[in-house]
Chain A
């Protein structure tokens, strides 16, 4: 097969000592950057661009270094999610939901190792998808016009209830809050500033990273401060068990179907420009929950499948996002936007002709992704023991470090003290929301996806001259809306019915065993 021949050539390009060393360095730095709250894959890549330039690297080695950082950060994001309940980057947010409960139950090692394997599975198969399907997948991206995107984001919001098992109304409130925050900034469809109060810092809207670090990391610090002296945390935390650091085959087997399903979902989400890894991990988690945990009994309470799903999903999305970047020159996520800029500066024009004009770059890069992926797996499993030591650090030492890293990280990105104030504001908001038992994840999702959802609705309606029927004008939109409506209504309508059936079934079983 021609593709495999190309891939073999790619390995020939990638398998030099220099490139291997760069991949190793990239994977390591990426993992650390991913794990630090505030530094995500896109900043990690951006920070290392000068390094690639200073070393005078050619196009292929530069890309190998930077994509290793990208993949590494996607792996690393889960570490702080699981250990500290603070997502290391946006896509790792969903991993908090089941990863942190697992850590609290003394299964941190297991959760880290399992998520490492899930990340590997997601990234590995997504890279194969990139190899085999890139040219065809571009056509999928072309099926998505504004109306289809709107339906897709509506689907994401319709299944939102799935992620918060406790109180649907609170989840809806949190999502509405996020949507409201997404409206801040200059509206691109009219050029008019909204809710900016004449403050130029707000013209670009709220930076997701600032919001995430504030909501998750700082609010954690505030909660700690509140309980200072009551030694609630101090007495319990050091006794946290790390547990086994190698997941059992049984557990892996149990999670395999989940990983495979979410890999596909995540990959498709990654391929769609604008949707990206966050949507990938989110849809993966909520769909998986719908599928294997209909009653809402285990997800959110430390179900290993709830760790495997978003991790396989977001790593698969990272691979998927490279498809439109390489084949269309259109970034599928924030990080690929940065990578795209690097390509341009290296005198490589991404686009439909990249595969034919620069085959060595493309296939060398893909081969490097495979190599980096194996390196990351090999690096991450043994290091689980090291990572988990974080849990043994007493909170009175850990929390100041979290606060410091948050402030330094955010200031390092934007260089603006205004963002620090916004971050503290979000920290306070997160603290209040925690007290009210309102879930934080929907707030971020509302902010993250709300903007895209609004913009695509307005693009669609603008193109059709105010005719709202455009929203259901294609089979794809009708299909997406159907899933959205069913996904939203099914639990509401049949939830009671299923519960009753379950109770009846249990009663019958009970009577039989008597």
Chain B
């Protein structure tokens, strides 16, 4: 599972572009660095905080232990509101975020809050989306699945681990749209409490398709229980995932990455902002972090600072358009 080759190939330009940011004056040092995980212990955000915090300390990138605070509720909305309303000018604070954060912001699911109220620091990796079927399914390719939906939308139920309108749902809709399905609302999506539960129902025969992250499907792909018919990445991944066909090479130009990263308070000073951007960037390039990414099935997404801000803005816009189309946003 070597992502480094791809990283060099695909994102060399991005690394070069971010390099100047890394050379900033060190006129800020956090006294008590703190990471808010907007979910209960054990979830994805919690682990983003804990792993990044631990790696930063192991590499001596921060002066003391990163304190992780769990502030769950509202799918991250409670933490977002807390940061905007009460802790807007703190320099020592970062908050874990992911595509789910962008999705909720795009759908106005954090009442009264918008993406420009915080400062987007950087990403630490991405989990690419997959669309899969059971190993014994007649469906062999993504176009097969899309044709089946076109022919009789009611006959194909696709399950995923997020709520309706959530990222797993949107990924399959992005693919459907690219495949020429005009009314994406006809795609039947069944929401489950997690990717694992949805895969179980795929194996049990209740569902015809699965949409989720590569890391969720990994174990079942290796065992041969399910077949990935499309990886929603710009190009094939390396190592053990080299066999997985991308949607793009099957003529359906759909990309869906569940990124993980951080934002900071909107009133954070520029010195602090540069400090955190630089730390995340240095961390990302370290061998230690590359190993952690590999262990967790994270693919490269090396975006920090201004580029990350633009990336988040763009993905929010995209999600908003799609959500409007399926009626989640009025």
Q: Which residues of A contact B (CB under 8 A)?
A: 42-43, 45-47, 49-50, 53, 141-146, 186-191, 198, 200-204, 273-274, 324, 328-331, 337-338, 340-342, 344-345, 347, 349-354, 413-416, 418-419, 455, 459, 462-463, 465
Contact B190 A414 (CB under 8 A): no
Q: What is the bound-complex CA distance between A226 and B109, given in angstroms?
A: 42
In the complex, which of the residues B77, B200, B206, B225 contacts A463, with contact meaning CB atoms closer than 8 Å?
B206
Q: Does B3 contact A (CB under 8 A)?
A: no
Contacts of B50 in A (CB 8 A): 49-50, 53, 345
Closest residue of B by beta carbon distance from A53? B54
In the complex, which of the residues A42, A200, A203, A415 contacts B70, with contact meaning CB atoms closer than 8 Å?
A415
Residue of B42, B77, B188, B205 with highest tally of chain A CB at under 10 A = B42
Contact A145 B201 (CB under 8 A): yes
Q: What is the bound-complex CA distance between A204 and B72, given in angstroms?
A: 9
Contact A345 B296 (CB under 8 A): yes
Contact B206 A145 (CB under 8 A): yes
In the complex, which of the residues B201, B204, B223, B296 contacts A344, with contact meaning CB atoms closer than 8 Å?
B296
Closest residue of A by beta carbon distance from B166? A191
Contact B204 A330 (CB under 8 A): no
Contact A330 B71 (CB under 8 A): no
Interface 9-residue window, one of B14-22, B137-145, B214-222, B308-316 = B214-222
Q: What is the bound-complex CA distance between A204 and B111, given in angstroms?
A: 14
Contacts of A45 in B (CB 8 A): 42
In the complex, which of the residues B77, B111, B200 contacts A330, with contact meaning CB atoms closer than 8 Å?
B200
Contact A191 B296 (CB under 8 A): no
Q: What is the bound-complex CA distance between A354 and B157, given in angstroms?
A: 29
Contacts of A49 in B (CB 8 A): 41-42, 50
Q: What is the bound-complex CA distance between A342 and B219, given in angstroms?
A: 16
Contacts of B12 in A (CB 8 A): none
Minimum CB–CB distance from A105 to chain B (whole Å) comes to 39
In the complex, which of the residues B42, B190, B220 contacts A459, with contact meaning CB atoms closer than 8 Å?
B190
Minimum CB–CB distance from B191 to chain A (whole Å) comes to 4
In the complex, which of the residues B43, B163, B201 contacts A186, with contact meaning CB atoms closer than 8 Å?
B163
Contacts of B222 in A (CB 8 A): 349, 351-353
Contacts A191-B164, A414-B70, A414-B72: A463 and B157 contacting too (C-beta < 8 A)? Answer: yes
Closest residue of B by beta carbon distance from A341? B42
Contact B73 A414 (CB under 8 A): yes
Contact A462 B157 (CB under 8 A): yes
Contact A143 B204 (CB under 8 A): yes
Contact B206 A201 (CB under 8 A): no
Q: Does B110 contact A (CB under 8 A)?
A: yes
Contact A330 B42 (CB under 8 A): no
Contact A201 B200 (CB under 8 A): no
Contacts of B203 in A (CB 8 A): 142
Contact B165 A465 (CB under 8 A): no
Contact A188 B164 (CB under 8 A): yes
Minimum CB–CB distance from A157 to chain B (whole Å) comes to 20
Q: Does B196 contact A (CB under 8 A)?
A: yes
- B269-300 toward A: CB 8 Å interface, digit per residue (1/0)? 00000000000000000000000000110000
Contacts of A419 in B (CB 8 A): 73
Minimum CB–CB distance from B284 to chain A (whole Å) comes to 18
Q: What is the bound-complex CA distance between A145 and B199, given in angstroms?
A: 12
Q: What is the bound-complex CA distance between A47 and B328, given in angstroms?
A: 37
Q: What is the bound-complex CA distance between A146 and B67, given in angstroms?
A: 41
Q: Does B28 contact A (CB under 8 A)?
A: no
Contact A416 B71 (CB under 8 A): yes
Contact A413 B75 (CB under 8 A): no
- Residue contacts A-B, CB under 8 angstroms, 11 given: A42-B42, A49-B42, A200-B78, A330-B200, A340-B196, A352-B223, A352-B225, A415-B70, A415-B71, A416-B72, A455-B191
Residue of B75, B110, B200 with highest tally of chain A CB at under 10 A = B200
- B72-114 toward A: CB 8 Å interface, digit per residue (1/0)? 1111011001000000000000000000000000010111000
Contact B206 A198 (CB under 8 A): no
In the complex, which of the residues B74, B157, B220 contacts A204, with contact meaning CB atoms closer than 8 Å?
B74
- Interface hits, B152-191 → A, CB 8 Å: 154, 157, 163-166, 188, 190-191
Q: Does B51 contact A (CB under 8 A)?
A: yes
Q: What is the bound-complex CA distance between A189 and B192, given in angstroms?
A: 9
Q: Does B11 contact A (CB under 8 A)?
A: no
Minimum CB–CB distance from A434 to chain B (whole Å) comes to 29
Q: What is the bound-complex CA distance between A455 and B194, given in angstroms?
A: 13
Contacts of B70 in A (CB 8 A): 413-415
Contact A200 B74 (CB under 8 A): yes
Q: Does B321 contact A (CB under 8 A)?
A: no
Contacts of B25 in A (CB 8 A): none
Q: What is the bound-complex CA distance between A413 and B295, given in angstroms?
A: 28
Closest residue of A by beta carbon distance from B69? A415
Closest residue of A by beta carbon distance from B110? A200
Residue of B46, B69, B190 with highest tally of chain A CB at under 10 A = B190
- B59-72 toward A: CB 8 Å interface, digit per residue (1/0)? 00000000011111
Contacts of A413 in B (CB 8 A): 40, 70
Minimum CB–CB distance from A183 to chain B (whole Å) comes to 15
In the complex, which of the residues B111, B157, B193, B206 contacts A200, with contact meaning CB atoms closer than 8 Å?
B111
Minimum CB–CB distance from B89 to chain A (whole Å) comes to 20
Closest residue of A by beta carbon distance from B206? A145
Contacts of B215 in A (CB 8 A): 344
In the complex, which of the residues A47, A204, A328, A347 contacts B73, with contact meaning CB atoms closer than 8 Å?
A204
Minimum CB–CB distance from B190 to chain A (whole Å) comes to 5
Q: What is the bound-complex CA distance between A103 and B43, given in angstroms?
A: 39
- B300-330 toward A: CB 8 Å interface, digit per residue (1/0)? 0000000000000000000000000000100
Closest residue of B by beta carbon distance from A185? B74
Contacts of B219 in A (CB 8 A): 329, 349-354
Minimum CB–CB distance from A229 to chain B (whole Å) comes to 39
Q: Does B247 contact A (CB under 8 A)?
A: no
Q: What is the bound-complex CA distance between A350 and B223, given in angstroms?
A: 11
Contacts A143-B204, A353-B223: A189 and B197 contacting too (C-beta < 8 A)? Answer: no
Contacts of A187 in B (CB 8 A): 163
Contacts of A146 in B (CB 8 A): 190, 201, 206
Q: Does B47 contact A (CB under 8 A)?
A: yes
Contacts of B296 in A (CB 8 A): 344-345, 347
Contacts of B111 in A (CB 8 A): 198, 200
Q: What is the bound-complex CA distance between A56 and B77, given in angstroms?
A: 33
Contacts A203-B109, A416-B71: A330 and B164 contacting too (C-beta < 8 A)? Answer: no
Contact B81 A414 (CB under 8 A): no
In the complex, which of the residues B165, B200, B328 contacts A142, with contact meaning CB atoms closer than 8 Å?
B200
Contacts of B207 in A (CB 8 A): 463
Contacts of A43 in B (CB 8 A): 41
